[in-house]
Amino acid sequence: MWRTSVATVMLFALMSLTQAQDARKSGFDFMRPATQALQMDDTQNPGMLWVKDGQMTWAQKDGAANKSCTDCHGDINRMRGVAARYPQYSLVAKRVINLGQQINQCRTTQQQAKVWPTEHPTFLGLEAAITMESRGQPVTPPSQPLLADAQKRGETLFNQRIGQVDLSCRDCHDSLAGKRLGGNTIPQAHPTGYPIYRLEWQSVGSLQRRLRGCMTAVRAEPYPYGSTELVDLEAYLAMRAAGMRLESPGVRP
Amino acid sequence: MASVIVRPVSALTQSDVLTPLVKAYAAGGVVREGRVKFDIAPLVDNGNSVPIEVTVESPMTQAQHVVGIAIFNEKNPQNQVAEFTLSPLAGRARVAARIRLALSQQLVAVAKMNDGSCWMQTVEVLVTIASCIEE
Amino acid sequence: MTRALVTVPKTAKRGEIIEIRAVVQHPMETGYRRSSEGDLLPRDLIRKFSCRFVESGNANDTGAMVFAATLHAAIAANPYLSFNLRAASSGTLVFNWEGDNGFSHREQVAMTVA
């Protein structure tokens, strides 16, 4: 009897220890109450406009194949848990791809339609609608050797000093997280809310847009959309945020 | 991150820009302070989206109701923010919206009653926002 | 394709004052902003919003005005508006947005009042 209770106590102690040690915080936690309220309320969160667009597009036939996402995948709620795994290695592409690239892969190979252009609102909407199906689920990058390589490359990029400002992503997002920078609070750079509605953009944007923004801010040449470097960074960020809960569509300043 | 400090302003210190706008909206009706509550979120992360709410004391009956609410700002290139038309069907004289607020300035909410009289609240907002160099 | 979200309770008690919320996808381009290439972005605003109530059985009627708005550049992108309605009878709420460059969007939502 006492053994089980000791075991239980130890288990709880261990749990609270790991929780206490987990100093990771979503960007959400650094925001003012008004912005948090906007994210929490689906009747006000402007990101939901893009989600609605995505949900409607999911059921629309398109391309030379005249097929909708529904035709092959069924109801969008069958996508539960999918976004939590991305970026991941794709057998079809034979490389690590993010969720947007997977959507475009289905566009071209399955629907036989043209790829969505970068940051197209309907494309972001599809991504947001699929990601919302995993809301509340922990980020769970699969264990795949080629994904592990991408995560490692991403980590190297994250630690590398860039731009005229000569700062690494880690300098800001580990050492200076929580501090103010020109009126903004530096978050820890977790990708849990993407695609996000950003007040500064006055629109929804992808994680790659956010990463490119950080590069421009330190006066470094941003990697092009869809580049291996950006996907590697995304893969590393997902690993770094493993276990944290998805909250898309997030709202950020 | 921006902070917005809001404080009420009395008619005596209302900006010279706002007073004629209020007068024009009142179209000859008497304008008094009171009955209008103009709420602006005190702390916001970004001036592109600042929640506001205007509520007016009124029974909202056929006999006695608010017919309109106008909001003006002092310093934006255009002083009009919005004009709302209300009807007794509403049951409550209230409107909420999100506005852009880039500069410290005065804002006024004016409510017009069905008898032509007007009520207002003027507030002063102090905004501190960092400039952004991003795409 | 423009999207809008309108939030109206599906059912309400007679006499109850309900809250209505409406958000529409629109940039509310002020005409003062520059693109990343430095060009001035042309003004593109929603100018008018209205919400009308059409009582059940009066489908041909244009209904009664509940709330209307004239919007200007100081209204945030993807305009959000919230206002109230005293539920008197079952019917349909018709929402309309109109703006520059022929912008027009309409939504309607049915509400049952018991």
Query: Is residue A127 included in any domain, yes or no?
Result: yes
CATH number of the domain to which A89 belongs: 1.10.760.10
Q: How do the pLDDT tens digits run along chain C, 114 residues long?
A: 789 999 999 999 999 999 999 999 999 999 988 887 888 999 999 999 999 999 988 767 789 999 999 999 999 999 999 999 999 999 999 999 999 999 999 999 999 999
Cβ-Cβ contacts under 8 Å, A213 against chain B: 134-135
Query: pLDDT at residue B97 above 60?
Result: yes
CATH number of the domain to which B54 belongs: 2.60.40.2470
Q: Which amino acid is at B71?
A: I
| Domains by residue range for chain C, with CATH | 4-113 (2.60.40.10)
Q: Do A38 and B49 touch (CB under 8 A)?
A: yes
Provide the chain B residues 22-51 that lie in CB contact (below 8 A) with chain A: 41, 43-46, 48-51
A246 lies in the same domain as A174: yes
Query: Is residue A137 included in any domain, yes or no?
Result: no
Helix ranges (DSSP H) in A22-74? 33-40, 47-58, 69-73
A208 lies in the same domain as A168: yes
The proportion of chain A whose per-residue pLDDT surpasses 90, expressed as a percent, equals 87
Q: How many domains are contained in chain A?
A: 2
Among A132, A164, A188, the domain boundary falls at A132
Could you give the CA distance from residue B34 to residue B122 in angstroms, rounded to a whole number? Answer: 10
Among A78, A112, A132, the domain boundary falls at A132
Quote the minimal CA–CA distance from B75 to chain C in Å.
11
Catalytic position from the list A69, A169, A172, A214: A214
A97 lies in the same domain as A188: no
Around Cβ A56, how many Cβ atoms within 10 Å? Answer: 15
Asked if A214 is an active-site residue, the reply is yes
Provide the chain A residues 109-148 that lie in CB contact (below 8 A) with chain B: none
- Residue C68 pairs in a beta bridge with B85, C50
Instruction: Give the per-residue pLDDT at A13.
Output: 43
Residue A97 contacts by C-beta under 8 Å, 6 or more apart in sequence?
A86, A87, A88, A89, A90, A105, A231
ipTM, interface predicted TM-score of the complex: 0.94
